[in-house]
Amino acid sequence: MSVISDLYEALSIFGVPIRVHPMLNVMDGGRINAMNEVVPFTKADLDGDVDAESLVDPVVPQSSNITANLSESLSGGGNTVPRRYAWYSENKYRVGTLVECLDHVFQIDQLADYDNVAGIFVYYLKGDDALESI
């Protein structure tokens, strides 16, 4: 085995089901409604996306936010679920792409500076504020 496959194999123990929506990107502004207005994406848009891709890739909390969330929860407020994650994938996507995993909707916030190390792209996901609440 090569070093590249060993790295991805080691990370694969953190694999979770992911549904990626490459055609639904918040950087594009949303979708166009019947009155030709740009409106936020909805859960119905995600459910009806025929271009969605299903993957199983490693997704782990960003360590700096675990500390911040733990601190916030101990002070009596906030949520203990991290809002930012690192996603390791062999597939390339654009910043702003909507991603469903861990029972939440995220958007790709940024691609790591070392975007293609050992054949793996590292994306930072954040909770998506652009998705219309349902």
State the pLDDT at residue 52.
96
State the pLDDT at residue 133.
52
Q: Is pLDDT at 126 greater than 80 in this prediction?
A: yes
For β-strands 53-61 and 84-89, DSSP reports them as antiparallel
Q: How many CB atoms lie within 10 A of CB 128?
A: 19
Q: What is the mean pLDDT of residues 30-42?
A: 82
Q: Which helix (H) or strand (E) holds 43?
A: helix 43-47
Sequence-separated (6 or more) residues with CB below 8 Å from residue 19: 46, 52, 53, 54, 55, 99, 100, 101
13: three-class secondary structure by DSSP: helix
Q: What is the pTM of this model?
A: 0.74
53: three-class secondary structure by DSSP: strand
Bigger pLDDT: 132 or 95? 95
Instruction: Give all domains of the chain, ordered by start, each with its CATH number.
Output: 3-127 (2.40.10)
* pLDDT tens-digit map of 45-79: 899 999 999 999 999 887 654 445 444 544 445 44
Residues facing 101 on adjacent strands: 18, 104
Q: Is pLDDT at 129 greater than 80 in this prediction?
A: no
**122 in Cβ contact with 113 (< 8 Å):** no
